Amino acid sequence: MSTTHVPRLILSRVREIQNDHRSGSLALARRAGQILAQWTRLPNRRADFHRQLALVCRALIAAQPQMAAIVNLCNAAQRAADRSPHADAARASVRAAVDGFLQTVQMAATEIAQTAATLISDRMTVATHSYSSAVRDALLTATAAGRKFRVAVTESRPLQEGVLLAKELASAGIPVTLGVDAAMALLLKEADLVLVGADAVTETFLLNKAGTFPAALLARRQGIPFYALAGSEKFAPRNYRLPPEIAKQPSEVLPRTPRSVEIRNLYFDETPLKLVTAIITEKGALDPKQAVRRLRKLSLHPALMIAGQGEEVPEE
């Protein structure tokens, strides 16, 4: 990926996104939007604006290629620029598209929380895995409506995002049971409902924190409804190929790697859509077939077609 014409300031901020393994996909998308808006205000040659936009977008996607929200943000920016062939007008169009995308995402989050909260009733135990702002908001919405329920959370190694969620829910007065990932089957025995987030939805699978796939298998085996909370911004365009995940630092699993031991620190797994009861979107609940029909209507801008193949953002 050539980034010759991308300013160092922008590459530095993109690299911060690449190295952020704790923030959720929506938080990362907001930062990507801020970077795009900042870039449109920097001086550059007018004749090169559209080509440079593609380079910046490719760098953003390459930084976190599993995050469909960043892909769709860049898709919206590219299509907005196409409608304005002149550079000055294109700059304004890109900023407006970024603002509109992020506002839509925020409104979608509210709708999703309200819809998902209706699934939760008194004396219910809701299970979840890892940390999802959508799941958190749904649980907080349900408790604000006066419903009394418990939440079972797995820790989500190696970064233990589930521990953070447990603390936030407990501080809001929601009773929480926190267990290790290996005890997921035991925790789900008590569950009436499973809610998870998503980083990407494709025609065949849901991409989320590793451990989501076994949770879905256990839910199916035990007859527990399994819902994924994902706005339209998480729906990956049909011609965007999610790249193989690059393994993260072994030290997150063990401070020192024993001799002859290979540590594979992978964050994500793929849950087949057939295991998902429904995907809760801002438009309501979609069963897997309805989700696939919507996904097939989405396409990636041609300028971004080569992006997202797992390449590293280069050093300055």
Three-state DSSP state, 279: strand
Length of the chain: 316
d(CA 274, CA 216): 10
Per DSSP (E only), the strands in 210-286 are 226-229, 268-272, 278-281, 284-286
3-class DSSP string for 9-73: HHHHHHHHHHCCCCCCHHHHHHHHHHHHHHHHCCCCCHHHHHHHHHHHHHHHHHHCCCCHHHHHH
**Which residue is catalytic, options 48, 88, 137, 199?**
199
Nearest to 195 by CA among 169, 160, 159: 169
Judge residue 58's burial from the number of C-beta atoms within 10 Å of its C-beta, 0-12 exposed, 13-18 middle, 19 or more buried: buried
Q: What's the N-to-C CA distance of the chain in angstroms?
A: 13
Nearest to 211 by CA among 257, 153, 277: 153
**Is position 199 annotated as part of the catalytic site?**
yes
Q: Which two tokens stand for residue 4?
A: 């010759």
- What value, to the nearest 5°, has the Cα angle with vertex 38 and ends 36 and 43? 110
Helices (H), 123-254: 133-144, 161-171, 184-188, 212-222
Active site residues: 199
